[in-house]
């Protein structure tokens, strides 16, 4: 049985190409927190610093005296000079901060990689990007996922795929622009392709849509509440499509820490440096959950402990701040091994898991594969033919 799609997730109208998407709202995007007069003063000071400091740094920089001893015609001299100039320039970081300030405040944009929405919301530009043949990329990803399913099936292990929808699709009211057509259709196209190949897949959009704050304002990732909602959706799919012995037999308890301020990964693309706290978007407040088992400790010290579920994925699962693994344990009523990795995309963690010793020596009953949907049409992340 396939989880019914939520009809509220309709395809938005065709949007501009991602290269044309810019967040034109400037300081108003910080929800009125920063006043226009402070920005004007900052611009004036910034411009003066760039003019005076830049000229002084260029004249006094030691790179002018330490001329690189490399070839000129092939560009090596220019590259070596630039590297030495940057290393010796005391104003390089302040200059980046100045231009970051101008970009964010005056033009409503950051460095390539981030898009500025409304009310202090930041979005990854990767969500708006697709390879030229998006349908072909999704088909190839789906074929590779089916091969992973078949590989796991040889060990009597069931695969459940959990695509993470784009932030701009879930909280589109804060986005700088609608997703382009191909990106807006990406999630449904992926689900349809996987279901055609008989892959068990969990649609996380309805669950995330019921959460007040499913994603962080200044970060690519979901909130702990979003992770918990996704875990409940995945658990429902597992119970319906891939049940296992011991499902629901272990009780867990989740407690929250005191809320802490956290600037997300997308703020690094604003290049505001030490001015981020004063002129950037307000930080997110996160009360980090901690999930613990209420079951008594095992009495057999020499018995092998078999964990029936393994979670493979990206930083959506690997970062303990979201408590994705803990939320899955509580939702499934079962222990879960965390095999997710940060900074490698969704394919490499699964490739390492399939070729590692842990799978062969102690195979679980279910593998849950968390895949951020943007990766299936992102340049450089289309998986190669597997070699396991």
Contact in structure between 160 and 240 (CB atoms under 8 Å): no
- Residues serving a catalytic function are 219, 221, 315
Confidence of residue 296 (pLDDT cuts 50, 70, 90): confident
98 and 133 share one domain: no
Total number of domains constituting the chain: 2
Highest-pLDDT range among 22-31, 34-43, 249-258: 249-258
Domain assignment present for 230: yes
Confidence of residue 384 (pLDDT cuts 50, 70, 90): confident
Domain assignment present for 8: no
pLDDT digits (tens, 9 = 90+) for 103-128: 545 445 545 689 989 988 999 999 99
For residue 66, the tally of other CB atoms under 10 A from its CB is: 13
pLDDT digits (tens, 9 = 90+) for 44-61: 666 666 666 666 655 555
Contacts of 46 (CB under 8 A, 6+ apart): 98, 101, 102
Average pLDDT, the chain: 81
Instruction: Give the distance, in angstroms, between the CA of residue 58 and the centroid of all CA atoms in the same chain.
Output: 39
Average pLDDT over residues 281-300: 85
Contact in structure between 373 and 167 (CB atoms under 8 Å): no
> Can you give the C-alpha Rg of the chain in angstroms?
24
Domain assignment present for 1: no
Q: What is the pTM of this model?
A: 0.75
Domain assignment present for 173: yes
Domain assignment present for 9: no
Q: Among residues 50, 80, 107, which one ends one of the domains?
A: 107
90 and 131 share one domain: no
45 and 102 share one domain: yes
Whether residue 181 is predicted with pLDDT greater than 80 in this model: the reply is yes
Which two three-digit tokens encode residue 274? 């030490």
76 and 171 share one domain: no
229 and 359 share one domain: yes
Domain encompassing residue 182: 125-377
Confidence of residue 1 (pLDDT cuts 50, 70, 90): very low
Could you give the CA distance from residue 180 to residue 46 in angstroms, rounded to a whole number?
35
129 and 234 share one domain: yes
101 and 147 share one domain: no
């Amino acid at each position: 049985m396939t989880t019914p799609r939520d009809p509220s997730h309709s395809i938005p109208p065709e949007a501009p190409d991602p290269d044309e998407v810019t967040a034109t709202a400037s300081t108003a995007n910080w929800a009125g927190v920063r006043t226009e007069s402070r920005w004007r003063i900052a611009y004036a000071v910034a411009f003066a610093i760039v003019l005076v400091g830049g000229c002084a740094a260029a004249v006094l920089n030691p790179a002018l005296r330490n001329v690189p001893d490399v070839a000129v015609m092939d560009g090596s001299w220019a590259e070596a000079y630039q590297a030495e100039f940057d290393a010796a320039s005391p104003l390089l970081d302040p200059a980046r901060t100045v231009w970051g300030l101008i970009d964010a405040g005056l033009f409503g944009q950051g460095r390539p990689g981030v898009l500025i929405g409304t009310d202090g919301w930041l979005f990854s530009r990767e969500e708006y990007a697709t390879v030229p043949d998006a349908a072909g990329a999704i088909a190839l990803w789906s074929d590779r996922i089916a091969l992973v399913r078949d590989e796991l099936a040889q060990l009597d292990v069931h695969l459940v795929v959990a695509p993470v929808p784009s932030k701009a699709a879930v909280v589109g009211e804060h986005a700088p622009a609608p997703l382009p057509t191909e990106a807006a259709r990406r999630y449904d196209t992926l689900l349809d392709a996987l279901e055609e190949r008989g892959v068990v897949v969990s649609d996380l959009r309805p669950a995330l849509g019921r959460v007040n704050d499913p994603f962080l304002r200044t970060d690519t990732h979901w909130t702990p509440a979003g992770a918990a909602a996704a875990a409940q959706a995945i658990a429902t799919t597992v119970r319906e499509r891939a049940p296992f012995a011991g499902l629901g037999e272990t009780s867990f308890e989740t407690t929250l820490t005191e809320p802490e301020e956290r600037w997300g990964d997308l703020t690094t693309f604003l290049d505001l440096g030490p001015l981020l706290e004063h002129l950037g978007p307000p930080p997110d407040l996160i009360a980090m959950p901690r999930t613990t088992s209420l079951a008594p400790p095992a009495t057999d010290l020499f018995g092998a402990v078999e964990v029936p579920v393994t979670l493979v994925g990206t930083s959506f699962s690997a970062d303990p701040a979201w408590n994705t693994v803990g939320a899955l344990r509580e939702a499934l009523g079962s222990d879960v091994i965390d095999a997710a990795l940060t900074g490698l995309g969704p394919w490499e963690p699964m490739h390492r898991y399939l070729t590692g010793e842990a799978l062969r020596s102690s195979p679980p009953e279910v593998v849950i594969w968390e895949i951020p949907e943007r990766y299936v049409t992102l340049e450089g992340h289309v998986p190669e033919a597997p070699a396991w």
